[in-house]
Structures are given as C-alpha cells and as structure tokens.
Amino acid sequence: MTDILKHIDAGVMTLTFNRLERKNAITSAMYGEMADAIAQAQTDAAVRVVVIQGHESIFSAGNDIGDFLQHPPTTPQANVFRFLRGIAELEKPLLAAVAGPAVGIGTTLLFHCDLVYAGDNAAFSMPFVNLGLCPEAASSLLVPQMFGYHRAAEALLLGEPFYAEAALEVGLVNRVLPPTEVNAYVQTQARKLSGKPLSSVLETKRLMKGVQSKTVLDRMDVEIASFGRMLQAPAAQEAFGAFMAKRKPDFSKI
C-alpha cells in the first residue's frame, strides 16, 4: 500500500496521506510522489481540480523526522521543495480537507490552497522554532499577511497550536465541519468547481494571486537557503535527536 493515494474522478485529483501508523508524517519519497502528481495535474486535461486530504483523526504530523535526518533537504531540488513550488505555481484550484493535527508543512501547505475545510478537531501548528528551524513554504510572508503580525508571531515564534475556530476567524479555513464529514464535503466543493468553465476558473485564480505569485516564490527560495543551513546546525540536531530518543530537547547551551 502506497503512503500517498492518488485518485482521479470527475475532473478531481485527490491525494490522500495514507500513513496512519506514523500519523501521516511525510517522507522525501512521499513529497516526490506528491510533486509528481501536482506536475501531472498542471498539464493533464483529465484534472480540473486537486484535493489534498488526510484521515478524520489526523491530517499530517509534518515532515517525517527520522527521514529528515537521513535525507536532509538541503538543496532547492529536494522533493519537499519541488512539492512546495508545485502547489505555489499550480494554476488549477487546490482544496484541502483537514481534520485532527496539521503540523508544520501540514499547516503551511494550506496557505497555497484556494479553499480549506476543517474538522472541529483540527489543530494547526508551525513549531519550526521549537525544532531549531525557520518557516518554510513562504509562511514567513503568508502567515503575517493573513493573521496580522502579532498573531503570526504567536504561531511562528512560540509554535503553539491553534484550533479550528481560530483558523476560521483569521480566514485560514472556509468552514468547520464534523471530522467525519470533511473529506466528503470537500469532494462536493471540488466537483462544483470541476463543473465550471475551466478557462474562467484559471483566469480568476491567476488574477487573484496576481503580483504576489513571484514574491511568494522568491520568499520560498530565501527560506530554503536558511532552512537547509539550519537543518545541519546544533539546535535542529538537538531537537531531532530528542524527538527520536523521546526526551525533551535541551537548548540551554545553543
């Protein structure tokens, strides 16, 4: 069984995180599969809308930390960055169904979605500082823009989780639903979009994204350089070592 399920029906490509035993933590191989699927969606006439979803109990625990240590994404060609550029540049609509925890990239990928629906059990977090890292996916730009600076600082500097109602209030999610209904509801919304004239959908998305598109890609590149460097530095090594050893990290000397 693959860790990313890909299904195309009625013009909707659905990508499902399918690694429940690891809380849908994402490996480099999984990023590669998703990057390839997004590249296919961009050009395949059978795809008019893309959906990313998890399970009703967990969206994603973010980067797989063990895999991260084995395959550190230190170059712009790394699968994770290929995936992130892919969703930032995708011309077709991208929807997400989020239930349960959405950690790290599980939250930051949502800033590149056009519509996001959440279960009332959704818990969003961007604990990059707690891991000795810095934001990715242009979240250092997009989170302050959407949340306002002080709420962004709470989310990105303290790395504390925030929940479905707060995400609704700041505009990160469109609607909160019972967790068992989120995936089905997103399929309904995706099919609505799939039935609309594609040329008009594409042009409307392009116009809404506007001049911001290049700024987002530029910010991703700046973040990638910092992220790659910080991944090898003592703080991240301590944070990841502590996670693997199931102990609290000790940053007192870093």
What residue ranges bind ligand COA (CB under 6 A)? 22-23, 25, 61-66, 101, 103-104, 127, 131
CB of 128 to ligand COA, least distance (A): 7
79 contacts 32 by C-beta, under 8 angstroms: yes
What CA dihedral angle connects 17, 20, 23 and 28, to 10 degrees?
Answer: -50
14 contacts 6 by C-beta, under 8 angstroms: yes
CB of 127 to ligand COA, least distance (A): 6
Instruction: Name the residue nearer to ligand COA (CB basis): 41 or 65.
Output: 65
Q: Is 217 helix (H, G, I), strand (E, B) or coil?
A: helix
Instruction: Name the residue nearer to ligand COA (CB basis): 128 or 147.
Output: 128
The amino acid present at 164, given as its one-letter code, is A
Instruction: Name the residue nearer to ligand COA (CB basis): 67 or 114.
Output: 67
Select from 66, 190, 170 the least CA-distant residue to 124.
170
Q: At what angle do helices 139-147 and 212-231 cross, to 10 degrees?
A: 120
CB of 20 to ligand COA, least distance (A): 9
CB of 107 to ligand COA, least distance (A): 9
CB of 249 to ligand COA, least distance (A): 11
Instruction: Name the residue nearer to ligand COA (CB basis): 62 or 119.
Output: 62
User: Bridge-partner residues for 177, per DSSP?
Assistant: 119
User: Bridge-partner residues for 117, per DSSP?
Assistant: 97, 175
Instruction: Name the residue nearer to ligand COA (CB basis): 93 or 132.
Output: 132
104 contacts 127 by C-beta, under 8 angstroms: yes
Long-range pairs for 194-199: beta carbons < 8 A, 24 or more residues apart = 194/10, 194/11, 194/12, 194/48, 194/49, 195/11, 198/48, 198/92
CB of 106 to ligand COA, least distance (A): 8
CB of 136 to ligand COA, least distance (A): 8
Instruction: Name the residue nearer to ligand COA (CB basis): 23 or 219.
Output: 23
Radius of gyration of the chain from its Cα atoms, rounded to whole angstroms = 17
User: Bridge-partner residues for 102, per DSSP?
Assistant: 60, 124
User: Bridge-partner residues for 104, per DSSP?
Assistant: none
72: number of Cβ within 10 Å:
16
Instruction: Name the residue nearer to ligand COA (CB basis): 9 or 154.
Output: 154
